[in-house]
Amino acid sequence: MQLPEEQLDNIIDLALAEDISHGDITSETLIPPELQGKASIVIKAKGIIAGSEVARRVFLKVDPSLKVEVLIKDGAKVQPGDIVATISGRVISILKAERTALNFLQRLSGIGSQTAQCIAKTQGLKANITDTRKTTPGLK
């Protein structure tokens, strides 16, 4: 299911407000504001990727000048060491967005990976895998 862009943006705004409501004091104190850098999102466990576009939007919401390249699209099988995305630009902006982006990516990929395992276990059976009403608020 695809969320409408406006609804997704609202969820991202809420997540960012929760995560960095008081700013990133450590980064703002220790890192020069214009320092440029590059980061990669690297897979630690095999599974199914989900949420790469959400993660991209988180980075761009924090700083539209960041360059975010998604290398692995949602639904793809991934292995440890695979690089999902690269982000380049202001280091402070990358650090400000990374925890929220990773939280979405990890949660959504975990759901996608578990769902794929359930589907595989029911192959050949008269069973359907469906969603549940027990969801995280705003993420159904």
Q: pLDDT band for position 28 (50/70/90)?
A: confident
Average pLDDT, the chain: 90
Does domain 5-121 match CATH 3.40.190.10? no
User: Cα separations (Å) of 134 from 1, 64, 116, 124?
Assistant: 16, 34, 19, 27
More reliable by pLDDT, 38 or 112: 38
* Choice among 38, 61, 96, 134 that is catalytic: 134
Whether the pLDDT of residue 86 is over 80: the answer is yes
Cβ burial of 35 (10 Å; 0-12, 13-18, 19+) is exposed
Which residues touch 62 (CB under 8 Å, ≥6 apart)? 16, 93, 96, 97
Q: pLDDT band for position 136 (50/70/90)?
A: low
Q: Where are the domains of the chain?
A: 5-121
Mean pLDDT of the region 44-56: 95
Q: pLDDT band for position 138 (50/70/90)?
A: low
Q: pLDDT band for position 126 (50/70/90)?
A: confident
pLDDT value for 110: 92
Which residues touch 78 (CB under 8 Å, ≥6 apart)? 43, 46, 47, 48, 49, 72, 84, 109
Is residue 22 helix, strand or coil? Answer: coil
Instruction: Tell me the sheet residues that pair with 48.
Output: 77
Mean pLDDT of the region 73-79: 96
pLDDT value for 140: 53
More reliable by pLDDT, 65 or 133: 65
Told to judge if 134 belongs to the known catalytic residues of this protein, a careful annotator would answer yes
Is residue 76 helix, strand or coil? Answer: coil
Token pair belonging to 111: 């759901």
pLDDT value for 80: 97
Mean pLDDT of the region 68-82: 97
More reliable by pLDDT, 72 or 116: 72
